[in-house]
Amino acid sequence: MMKIETERLYIRHFVNEDASICFEGWGTDEHLGDFIMGYPMNMDQMNSFVNAMVKNTNAWVIVEKESGACIGYISFDIPYQELRIGEIGYVIGEKWHGKGYGTEAVKKMISEYLAKDRLYLIEAKCNIDNKPSLNLLEKVGFIKDGVLRKRRIDKNTGEYRDLVVYSITTNDK
């Protein structure tokens, strides 16, 4: 199993046995559902999610070195490998928000995917109200490309919200 290391994190591929630690780490987080559909999850949903992620060679679990806790995940959607363009998605559990783990993990993984010539451009889409995620993207070098109007539904109000599109290329590093 491939494992990537940062100062405080191990980032590795999913294995089927990850369902329980992912569930504990972030699966039941209420506020993730404010910006990402499908949260919070029950254990059956987490098992299905992890089983799907195990099959994805571009899906990675984020584990805090010190505690061994699963604090989140990062995945890349690369629909057309020959274009060398992909989209990053990530989740950091609420217990670990504000500690720089998301920035550390995303920065490392974009450098892995851009530096090793896997991708030329990485795109990220983010709910316009998700200020911490918008800040993270800008902090690691993503550039705002534009806004997609009314592309996400607010689960609390039922209103449609805008989605911000960012990207980073090998030329931006």
141 neighbors 172 (Cβ within 8 angstroms): yes
132: tokens are 């911490």
The amino acid occupying position 51 is N
- pLDDT tens for 104-149 read 999 999 999 998 768 999 999 999 999 999 999 999 999 999 999 9
Rounded (10°) angle between helices 131-139 and 101-115: 50
pLDDT, position 167? 97
Q: Who contacts 60 (Cβ-Cβ below 8 Å, separation ≥6)?
A: 4, 11, 12, 13, 14, 73, 74, 75, 109
Q: What would the mean pLDDT of 64-73 be, rounded to a whole number? A: 96
Res 113: pLDDT: 94
CA dist., res. 93 & res. 26, Å (int): 4
d(CA 32, CA 92) in angstroms, rounded, equals 9
CA-to-CA dists, residue 168 to 21, 52, 91, 139, angstroms: 31, 27, 19, 12
- 5-61 pLDDT tens trace: 999 999 999 999 999 999 999 998 878 767 777 788 999 999 999 999 999 999 999
Q: Tell me, what DSSP letter sits at residue 61?
A: E
Which candidate, 75, 80, 71, 85, places its Cα nearest to that of 29? 71
**What's the CA gap between 65 and 67, in Å, rounded?**
6
Sign of CA dihedral 132, 136, 138, 142: negative
Q: Name the band, by pLDDT with cuts 50, 70 and 90, for residue 152.
A: confident
